[in-house]
Structure formats: structure tokens, C-alpha cells
């Protein structure tokens, strides 16, 4: 039995401005990670952990996150995207195809 039901890794890697690959942090990844952590706690979603990650190497598609145990990757660009992942994936058990990368 895994310790967490869901373990979410959010890239918060930062690169210098103008880097050819860009980075998730310049696309608001830290604020979106904070929002997700807050919402998971506020909604009382148990056995779910939201962690920072370094570069996940899909920078151009960011902000990137990956959710285990499924190993599903998402690019969430807004709080509404995060809300949808929480509602559909974490609470509903459904993959959000439109945000999947
Ligand atoms: S900077 Fe986020 S995936 Fe590389």
C-alpha cells in the first residue's frame, strides 16, 4: 500500500531570463504550486502530497507537473486548470485529457 494516494511533483525550476528553453517559474509555476497546495489542504484531500520538483525536462510545455501513482503529466497554466485537476483527477479519479502532456 503506497504511503500517499497521490504524490504530485510540480516543477519550480528557474532559469535566467532569455534562456532558450525557458522555465516553468517564468510561467508562474511557484504561485500555481502554492495554490494547489492550499486547495488540497482546504478541501481536505487526504493522503495527497504536493512537492516541488526541479526541472522535469519538458520545459517548453510548462508549467509541468506529474501525478503518481498514475504517472500522468499536466500543464496547468491557470488556477482554473489546477481546480480542474483537483476536481477531476484527485477527487474524481479521471484524467483531464485537455491538460495532459
Ligand atoms: S523548467 Fe520545468 S520542466 Fe524544465
Reading the chain (101 residues) residue by residue, the pLDDT tens digits are 789 999 999 999 999 999 999 999 999 999 999 999 999 999 999 999 999 999 999 999 999 999 999 999 999 999 999 999 999 999 999 999 999 99
Q: Is residue 81 domain-resident?
A: yes
Q: What is the pLDDT of residue 2?
A: 85
Residue 66 in any domain: the answer is yes
12 Cα nearest atom in ligand 1: 2
In a domain, 2, yes or no: no
> What was the pLDDT predicted at 45?
97
CATH of the domain at 78: 3.40.30.10
Residues of the domain holding 17: 7-99
pTM, two decimals, is: 0.95
**Ligand 1 centre and the CA of 5: distance in Å?**
24
DSSP tag of 57: S
**Number of domains present in the structure of the chain:** 1
| Residue from 15, 22, 23, 65 to probe ligand 1 pocket by mutation (most atoms less than 8 Å from CB) | 23
Nearest CA to ligand 1 atom 1: 23
At 1 the pLDDT is: 78
Ligand 1 lining (C-beta closer than 6 Å)? 11, 13, 23-24, 55-59, 62, 64
Residue 1 placed within a domain: no
Sequence-distant (6+) residues with CB within 8 A of 13 are: 23, 24, 25, 29, 53, 54, 55, 56, 59
Give the model's pLDDT for residue 29: 98
For residue 21, cis peptide bond before it (omega within 30 degrees of 0): no
On whether residue 86 sits in a domain, the answer given is yes
The whole-number pLDDT of residue 95 equals 98
Amino acid at each position: 500500500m503506497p504511503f500517499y494516494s497521490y504524490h504530485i511533483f510540480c516543477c519550480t525550476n528557474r532559469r535566467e531570463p532569455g534562456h532558450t528553453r525557458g522555465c516553468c517559474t517564468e510561467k508562474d509555476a511557484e504561485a500555481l504550486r502554492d495554490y494547489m497546495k492550499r486547495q488540497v489542504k482546504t478541501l481536505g484531500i487526504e493522503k495527497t502530497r504536493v512537492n516541488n520538483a526541479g526541472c522535469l525536462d519538458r520545459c517548453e510545455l510548462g508549467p509541468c507537473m506529474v501525478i503518481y501513482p498514475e504517472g500522468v503529466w499536466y500543464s496547468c497554466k491557470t488556477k482554473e486548470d489546477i481546480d480542474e485537476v483537483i476536481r477531476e483527477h484527485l477527487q474524481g479519479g479521471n484524467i483531464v485529457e485537455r491538460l495532459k502532456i
